[in-house]
Structure 1
Amino acid sequence: MSCEVATGSSTPEFVTRIGGRIRTLRKLRDWSVQQLAEASGISRRMLTGIELGQANPSLATVDRVARALDTDFAALALPERDAAEDQVEGTVVWQAPDGSQALLLGATQAPRAELWRWTLAPEGQYDAEPDRPGAQEVHHVLTGRLTLALATGTQVLAPGQSAVIASDQQYAYRNNDSEPVVFMRVVTGA
């Protein structure tokens, strides 16, 4: 069965937040956009678009920029937390017209780990770019059936099932069924 790739994008709130934070961190280092481009491997044009909130960067692109600035994805992505808050609702980082979305719920600094809640609509797919060497993801399916497409083959997880994968490779999340799939994702070492 062929899957349609969910043509999604970063949310406007996410793009605006990371753009401002990237610009602030770049200026604190007294770097030009060109210096950040060289350090991150991202084009100067793309970085300018990101800082202005006009680009739609992939999650991997944001991660590369974060690493170049000696920070992490979550530090750029999550909203500022009020010290009085006990709970964080998270932030929608990616969404597709079909209702698929990725919600970053929280993160730790040392060791670095991110907690996500993903929803893939029927026939939805998300193609991921490789993380840094040694990175891993833990997936736990809440509802539906998740297909993990890896270089070594596919794994299908039913509700209540979990899997650990190396995320330093090309991989994809797929929902080959007619019902949405909801799963938790923990990223370590990215």
Structure 2
Amino acid sequence: MSSEVSAGSSTQEFVTRIGGRIRTLRKQRGWSVQRLAESGGISRRMLTDIELGRANPSLATVDRVARALDTDFAALSLPDHDAADEQVEGTLVWQAPDGSQALLLGATRSPRAELWRWTLAPGGRYDAEPDRAGAQEVHHVLSGRLTLALEDGPHVLACGQSAVIASDQRYAYRNDGNEPAVFVRVVSGA
């Protein structure tokens, strides 16, 4: 799962959680900040700020660091829950000033898959970076209209419609309508 947060920001709870988990995993491996930064393709300063909960990293940056640590985005992002805790409302991972947001609802490890619920306010947009080769996303619109801006052109989905896209390309989610676009997103192979 990847995207820049220029249109919004990660929540502080999310930033603090991933920072602590990244630091723990890095130390368990005996890696320096520099080694992980190079492996994850980010600057040492950015990684330090992420670990201290002071940075607002893009979701793509978190994904790259997770891969460098041989884990996944969901393992760094989702809160720990007891087996008895069956009702999880989701982890708010991204939000924009206009009310747009992304909730990570759950994930599997093998095969890797993530379940998301997104809301894009009217005029909202989220620009993504390409995932690993072969990665895919399934989208299902619950309300409003969603435009998937892909390299081969836009694909508009109305309420009740679904689509599968290759996410190993540059793409964006847009809401060109007058009401919020709410959709479910399943990521596999990222």
Is residue 136 from structure 1 mapped to residue 136 from structure 2 by the alignment? yes
- Partner residue of 1:26? 26
* % same residue: 82
Instruction: Indicate if the aligned counterparts of 1:121 and 1:175 stay in contact, CA closer than 8 A.
Output: yes
- Partner residue of 1:126? 126
Instruction: Indicate if the aligned counterparts of 1:6 and 1:124 stay in contact, CA closer than 8 A.
Output: no
CA distances 1:116-146 after superposition (whole Å, capped 9, x unpaired) = 0000000000001111111100000000000
**SS of residue in 1 equivalent to 2:178:** coil
**SS of residue in 1 equivalent to 2:71:** coil
Please report how far the alpha carbon of residue 88 of structure 1 lies from its aligned counterpart in structure 2 after TM superposition: 1.5
Instruction: Indicate if the aligned counterparts of 1:101 and 1:120 stay in contact, CA closer than 8 A.
Output: yes
Quick one: distance in 2 between partners of 1:148 and 1:81? 33
CA distances 1:25-82 after superposition (whole Å, capped 9, x unpaired) = 0000000000001111111111011001011111111000000001000000000011
Question: What is the TM-score of this pair, normalised by structure 1?
Answer: 0.96
User: 1:1-190 alignment to 2 at 5 Å?
Assistant: 7-190=7-190
Please report how far the alpha carbon of residue 6 of structure 1 lies from its aligned counterpart in structure 2 after TM superposition: 7.1
Quick one: distance in 1 between partners of 2:54 and 2:6? 21
Structure 1 spans left out of the alignment, 5+ residues: none
Quick one: distance in 2 between partners of 1:106 and 1:67? 18
Quick one: distance in 2 between partners of 1:104 and 1:162? 19
Question: What is the TM-score of this pair, normalised by structure 2?
Answer: 0.96
| Alignment RMSD | 1.1
What is the number of equivalent residue pairs in this alignment?
186
Quick one: distance in 2 between partners of 1:28 and 1:119? 37
CA distances 1:100-125 after superposition (whole Å, capped 9, x unpaired) = 00000000000000000000000000
Quick one: distance in 2 between partners of 1:54 and 1:173? 27
- Moved >2 Å (runs of 4+): none
